Amino acid sequence: MKGAKATLTQGEVYPLKFDEIRDYPLLIELAQGDLQSIYPFLTKHSFTDGMIILKQGQSSEVFHIVLSGKLDVYLENEKKILVANLERGHFVGEMSCLTGKSVSATVMAVGTVETVAMPRQGLLLLMDRSTTFRQHMTEAMIKRIQESNDRVAEEYTRSLAVMRELELERQAQYGSLVGSSKFMHGLRKDIAECAQREDPVCIVGEKGVGKSHVAYEIHRLSRRAEYPIVSLDGTNFLQEDWDMKVRAAREGTIVLENVDSMPMELLSRLLQSSENTRILMTACDKPDTHALEVKMIPLRERKEDIPELVHAFLLAAGSDDPQELISHDAMNMMTVYPYLDGNVQELKTVVQEAHVVSGNRMILKRHLRFGRNREPGTRPRIGLALGSGAARGAAHVGVIKLLEQEGIPIDIIAGTSVGAFIGALYAGGQPVSAFEKVLPTVRWGQLVNFVMPPKALVSNHPMARFVEKYIGPVNFEDLPIPFAAVAADAVSGEAHIFNKGRVSHAICASTAIPGFIKPVQYQQRYLVDGAVVHPVPVALTKSMGADVVIAVDLSTPVLGEPKSFVVAILNTIEIMSRKIISEEAQIADVVLRPEITTNQVSFKLSNHNMAMGEKAAREALTLIRSKLVER
């Protein structure tokens, strides 16, 4: 009943028998004559859980002595702040009863509570007749006055903490969760279920997916909603901060953020130590606790929610008709972008900036600004977006060779299909000279082996061994150059971005040509060649933090009748990918299209394709350098 609405009540009132009052706290010390004189003024009250006995800001004409049960005393400002717990023998309301002033705090029954009460007239009579009672009351009030400064200071500190932490509420004034995707329907159900329980909850997901928003929604729908919600970052945990926040959030909720950065022993101790406060946690990866889990997927995996979010952000920015304020092409572009660095918050920034740049008029593609804001005076970060193209991928090596020769650094690489294959090997430390030596000798038998139909003709598991032969069984975070690979979910059709975990496994998924190579199973998904979603991963490269993106597009026109089954599949993928390439290439600063006039599947022509890549990069060198200067 902690979240019950506060309603002032006298509870059930009963008359008293004289013999009963001899055993009551405070009254037990009185002489027989004193008891007889106040007996007519006494009444017995019974309160049920959640009933309000005294209300902050209202005056009280009755003084209560607690006979049984417990009372919570709390301040009511923007949120309830618990200041005391009272039990048998404690009394409340004496100051207001004596002075007629308003009560300074609200007093609420916890469970069933019984009190004996007397009005002002009886209290004054008793204090006049009984020296013992008068001394007891005087000492109690002096003690309260002496403690008041400390209590006021403490509560002021708590109030400041609460006010600061109300930023968790106020940040956006979160509002309702936006989105009507299948995921969002499931999320709302999970939030409602978590709100009805008291277990700790861990909300898991990437940066910016809305973990704090979900925590606030769980709190808002729970019985603790009238009490504070405060947050604490576990990354730089300090015990004194925790102690203060626990006091501030008593009976409410603490949101402990980034718990995956905390030692498990410490986290376990905190979860066990907060009896009167509920803990909600946020993390990128769920720690090994018994907490309930709410999993948040990245925005790129629920693209159908992006238009609704865009409209909501424009409405919040003051637009009267947000659906008419953004062009179809601009909306498509925002749907393509993967938002690796901030998810929903990053999308919000893009929309808000575009709204300003457009002069509050129609938002067009040219108004969109993706990626980071580079610090003045720093060198621009250069990213390579290496596209799909089977054996034509050797051209990527020629581009890299020319950039190295010209002293143009490569800071970031994203790749799809063969672009992921080449990109991973280069990001893992393989020099251009090794590519020149090895690629012309590669045979498909080194990369695939036959499997039984009908799912596919071959499996590319041997490709993992091939990759690890040159760069080892490394994870993405171990690569000298930041790298990411794109695959596609064979069921949903959504892109799956690999930027953590084992690199060789990601390359197998990114190169699994649909209908030819068996889909790669990963985290309960079946993944295929990323060419069907991001044939040239420009948006991914930009989202990884590149200021200047050099895209390498290896798509070619279909050259007559395909000479093999595999070529026919690759041609079909390229035809499907052209529109995607055209849209995404607009985000690139430079797009290189090596003049490769063959659909040859074999790697025998790798030296020729490398030369074509080098030639394309050399011809664009002036443009590349100009982009570096512009930035």
- Whether 529 sits among the annotated catalytic residues: the reply is yes
| Choice among 96, 417, 510, 606 that is catalytic | 417
Residue from 373, 384, 436 nearest 624 by CA: 384
From residue 622, give the alpha-carbon distance in Å to each of 403, 406, 619.
12, 11, 7
What are the helix (H) ranges across 196-295?
211-220, 239-248, 264-273
49 is catalytic: no
Which distant-in-sequence residues (6+ apart) come within 8 Å of 2 by Cβ?
Answer: 50, 223, 224, 226, 227, 251
**Which segments of 430-476 does DSSP mark as H helices, in order?**
432-438, 461-471
User: What's the DSSP call for residue 504?
Assistant: H
The answer to whether 602 touches 394, Cβ cutoff 8 Å, is no
Beta-carbon contacts of residue 420 (< 8 Å; ≥ 6 apart): 386, 485, 486, 506, 507, 510, 511, 530
Q: Is 179 left (phi over 0), alpha (psi -120 to 50) or beta?
A: left
**Which tokens is 616 given?**
């394309």
Q: Which of 125, 22, 337, 396 lies closest to 348 in space, CA to CA? A: 337
Structure tokens at 187: 């999320």
Contacts of residue 49, Cβ cutoff 8 Å, sequence gap at least 6: 1, 4, 109, 110, 111, 112
Q: Which of 104, 109, 2, 105 is nearest to 51 (CA)?
A: 109
Helix (H) or strand (E) holding 579: helix 565-584
CB atoms within 10 A of CB 155: 21
Q: Could you say which of 34, 72, 341, 529 is catalytic?
A: 529
Give the active site residues.
417, 529
